Structure 1
Amino acid sequence: MSYAMEKLREEKVFKDPVHRYIHVRDRVIWDLVGTKEFQRLRRIKQLGTTFLTFHGAEHSRFSHSLGVYEIVRRIVDDVFKGRQEWDESDRLLSLCAALLHDLGHGPFSHAFEKVFQFDHEYFTQAIIMGDTEVNQVLRLVSADFPKKVAEVIAKTSEKKLVISLISSQIDADRMDYLLRDAYFTGVSYGHFDMERILRVMRPKEDQVVFKKSGMHAVEDYIMSRYQMYWQVYFHPVSRSGEVILQKILHRAKELHEQFYHFKHEPKHFVTLFEGKPKLKDYLELDESVVLYYFHVWQEEDDPILKDLCYRFLNRHLFKYIEFDPATEYKKYMKLVTLFTDAGINPEYYLVLDSSSDLPYDFYRPGEEEERLPIQLSMSNGEIRELSRQSEIVEAISGKRRTDHKLYFPLDLLKDESTKKNEKRQIKELLGING
């Protein structure tokens, strides 16, 4: 029997709070889970700094990746199996792409990416194609199998139906993270009827479609996603933690470029600071390593790095106000001047942060980010785009919501032992009493 077809002598299961059990029977999947690159995901939180707001949000990329695998396994083994438009030879490719889709995430995920200007999907592909244990396992299937998996994750594969299982406007990735994040944050927004959605999924040429009879479950999913983004993912307290995290990394990078002598040299960050991250160095970074540096950097002589690390580790976060940069630009420039005059570096202590989300969009060919629309299969066999059938989805379709907040350290402004006049002017502009 070929390695690709090999089954474990006995099915392995992971007990899971969202899916009850995650089932593994394929030798390839079991071996991939055991690789050091996949085990590294245990040490990276799924929700970055959200634990600062919702204390239960300590779950990892590891558990999410297993969850996405399990949803795809159920689809290909239960829902699609035996259907004419499903190619059974794509089964293992689908399972591996689902399991490995987040392999390249760094510590604190998206905040990390913004500072060092890279995409986790680049590192996901680099891990799959590089000199790694994951690559060794995939090559046992076939010499070109790592490339096939990487192409699915990069969305360049000719297997469009497989891509849509893990990357579309309703896919296994989104379904798992909404349910999982809702569970661990303790909110009710992210709940929807996944069982019903799975029952009405059908393979259709280049993408998954949904039976019209299941439209209300799909609507519920769309609204759950909308609520989760604004109530959890974009929560201003979590964003405050992310702002400070980014500023710590910016400061450390700036000090490195200025040849500052660190008491605790950031050797794990050097290639990142220099814009030439090596895969080996990147894989050695996880959140425990980053938090170690934040801990020891509290002893540095640089007052900004020291202060920001203390704030992050002890949850002394920045406060915020609603702020529209388009209409309040002059106020912002005045605040920059006053912060500077008050001896508070505005680059690190006056931060404008924007959140933006497009809950659902129909197909707009040629746009930078082409979104594959959700298609409904009508009882007569006709295919129709979701927003043309659903008044609820039509109401939010194509409508991007953007939110801007200005973050600042209120404690430094309340301390009027120095620069009393400047700080009072700042508080007046920010609308702060006392």
Structure 2
Amino acid sequence: MTYKQEQLSEEKVFKDPVHRYVHVRDRVIWDLIATPEFQRLRRIKQLGTTNLTFHGAEHSRFNHSLGVYEIVRRIISVFEDRPHWNKEERLLCLCAALLHDLGHGPFSHSFEKVFKLDHEIFTQKIITGDTEINRVLEKVEKGFSQKVADVIAKTYQDKLVVSLISSQIDADRMDYLIRDAYFTGVSYGHFDMERIMRVMRPMEDQVVIKSTGMHAVEDYIMSRYQMYWQVYFHPVTRSAEVILSKILHRAKDLFEADDFTFKLEPTHFLSFFRGDVRLEEYLKLDESIVYYYFQAWQDEDDVILKDLCERFMNRRLFKYVEFNPNLQMKDWMELYTLFQQADINPEYYLVVDSSSDLPYDFYRPGEEEERLPIHLLMPDRSLKELSRHSDIVEAISGKKRTDHKLYFPKDRIEALTDQSLKKKIITILYGQGEVEDVR
């Protein structure tokens, strides 16, 4: 028996609050889970700063990755012996599902924005680079690691395999919606995942849904819509992300300044500050390390870095008001000047943050990010695009929603002794709507 075919002497299971059990029988999967690169995901939270809003959101990328693997394993069991399904792709699908988030860094997307990184590129580097992950994959067959990387990059020749991991209804989204809903304690993200898995069918280049399962898919899409606006884009979470980003920007600016010396040299951040991040350095940085620096930077001599770190560590977040950058840029420019007069550096303390989401889209050829639509398999074996058959999905299809907030330290403004200046700032802020309290 080859390594590719090798099975464990007995099935291993992980207890899971979402799927009850995650089942592992393949030696390759078991060995991948044991690698340092995969174990690192235990130290990366799935939802970044969301635990400052929903205190239960402490789950990790490790949890989620196992969950995506388990969903794909179950889908494949439904696909067995069906037309268009190539059994030879089974292990590739399982490995890609397990490893799809391998390249996430601490605080994920916030961290990526500051240092202009892409977690998918780092995922591919970990899979194809000098790592334990790569050595396990190459034992399957020469070039197998590149196949896994290609699936994650969405360039693999078998688009059916890609669609299991990355599409508008894939194992990744299904797991994170239900898992994030469970750990945040909200009810929005729940849908009948078992039903969806049972009505999935393999076609030549994508997974389609039996028309009898349409209502379960409608529920899934609405759950996704609600989770984005009630959890992922929650303004309190965004406030924490704003402060996190400003801490990293300030630390980078101080590193580049000639007249500042850190009491605690930011060794783990040096390559990130220089914009030349090697893979081994990337893998050494996790959220426990970042928290250590944030804790230590509260004792640095720079007042801005100290204040921002203290705010983040002790959850003294910025307040916010609704803000429309298309209509209120004059207000923002006036506030910028007033903040400077008040000695509140607007580069770090006056921040416009925007969020947008497209809950479902039909196919638009030639767009930068082409979204393959969800197709229903009708009783006559024809395919029908979901929004053409579902009034609910049609109502939100192609409709991009964007939300803007203006964040600022309300406590600093209230502490101003110049009453005239204070009144001007508050008048502009309150003129845009009631200031929301961050709790």
TM-score category (smaller protein): over 0.9
- Describe the superposition over 1:50-108 as per-residue Cα deviations: whole angstroms up to 9, x where unpaired: 000000000000000000000000011x2101112100000000000000000000000
- Which residue matches 1:371? 371
Matched, 1:233 2:249: no
Matches within 5 A, 1:82-161: 82-161=81-160
Matched with 1:391 is 391
Q: What CA deviation, in whole Å up to 9, does each residue of 1:280-333 have, x standing for no partner?
A: 110000000000000000000000000000000000000000000000010000
Q: Does the 8 Å CA contact 2:318/2:407 hold for their aligned counterparts?
A: yes
Once the two structures are TM-superposed, the CA of residue 230 in structure 1 deviates from its matched residue by 0.2
Task: Tell me the distance in 2 between the aligned counterparts of 1:21 and 1:429.
Answer: 54
Relative to the length of structure 2, the TM-score reads 0.97
- Flag structure 1 segments of 5+ consecutive residues without an equivalent: none
Matched, 1:269 2:269: yes
Distance 2:122 2:160 in 1: 23
Q: Which runs of 5+ in 2 are unaligned?
A: none
Q: Deviations over 1:94-127 (max 9, x none)?
A: 0000000000000000000010111100100000
* Separation of aligned partners in 1, 2:108 and 2:129: 21
User: Matched residues in 1 for 2:83 and 2:9: separation?
Assistant: 30
Q: Distance in 1 between matches of 2:319 and 2:127?
A: 41
Instruction: Give the match's secondary structure for 2:394.
Output: helix
Counterparts of 1:291-302 in structure 2, within 5 Å, are 291-302=291-302
> Larger deviation: 250-259 or 24-33?
250-259
Letter in 2 for 1:6: E
Q: Distance in 2 between matches of 1:150 and 1:422?
A: 56
CA distance in 2, matches of 1:138, 1:423: 62
SS in 2 for 1:3: coil
Within 1, Cα distance between the matches of 2:422 and 2:340?
A: 11
Give the residue type in structure 2 aligned to 1:208.
Answer: V
Higher mean alpha-carbon deviation, 257-266 vs 370-379, is at: 257-266
SS at match of 2:123: helix
Matched, 1:165 2:164: yes
Asked if 1 retains the 8 angstrom alpha-carbon contact of 2:342 and 2:416, the reply is: no
Alignment of 1:380-419 (within 5 A): 380-417=380-417, 419=418
Q: 1:26: Cα distance to partner?
A: 0.1
Per-residue CA deviations over 1:409-429 (Å, capped at 9, x if unaligned) read 000000023x43222211111
> Match of 2:218?
219
Q: Distance in 2 between matches of 1:5 and 1:363?
A: 38
Match of 1:8 in 2: 8
For 2:160, the aligned partner's letter is L
Q: Distance in 2 between matches of 1:147 and 1:320?
A: 45
Aligned to 1:352: 352
Q: What secondary structure does 2:202 align onto?
A: strand
Distance in 2 (alpha carbons) for counterparts of 1:366 and 1:273: 36
**1:37-56 pair list within 5 angstroms:** 37-56=37-56
Please tell me the residue identity of whatever aligns with 1:391: D
**Paired AA for residue 148 in structure 1:** K
Alignment match, 2:25: 25
Task: Please give the secondary structure, in 2, of the residue aligned with 1:268.
Answer: helix
- Which segment is superposed worse, 251-260 or 304-313? 251-260
Match of 2:247 in 1: 248
Task: Name the amino acid aligned to 1:105.
Answer: H
The two structures, once aligned, show a CA RMSD in angstroms of 1.0
Distance 1:90 1:420 in 2: 69
Secondary structure class of the residue paired with 2:4: helix
Distance in 1 between residues matched to 2:265 and 2:390, nearest whole Å: 57
Aligned-pair distance for 1:142? 1.0
1:73 alignment partner in structure 2: 73
Instruction: Could you list the structure 1 runs, at least 4 aligned residues long, displaced by more than 2 angstroms after superposition.
Output: none
Aligned positions, number = 432
Amino acid of the residue matched to residue 429 of structure 1?
I
Asked whether the equivalents of residues 266 and 293 of structure 2 are also in contact (C-alpha less than 8 Å), the reply is yes
CA deviations on 1:123-173 (whole Å, 9 max, x unpaired) are: 000000110000010010011000000000000110100100010000000
Q: Which residue of 2 aligns with 1:200?
A: 199
Residue aligning to 2:36: 36
1:254-333 → structure 2 map (5 Å cutoff): 254-259=253-258, 260-333=260-333
CA distance in 2, matches of 1:204, 1:235: 37
TM-score (norm 1): 0.99
What per-residue deviation string (whole Å, max 9, x for no partner) do you get for residues 234-269 of structure 1? 000000000000000000011111132000110101
Structure 2 contact 319–409 (Cα < 8 Å) conserved: yes
Aligned residue for 1:177?
Answer: 176
Q: For each residue in 1:34-60, what CA deviation from the matched residue of structure 2 results, as whole angstroms up to 9, or x when unmatched?
A: 000000000000000000000000000
Task: Name the SS for the 1:12 alignment partner.
Answer: strand
- Answer with 313-322 or 424-433: which moved more: 424-433
2:268 is paired with a residue whose SS is coil
Provide the rounded CA distance (Å) in 1 between the counterparts of 2:83 and 2:166. 22
* Deviation readout 1:379-414 (Å, 9 max, x if unpaired): 000001000000000000000000000000000000
Give 1:308's aligned amino acid. L
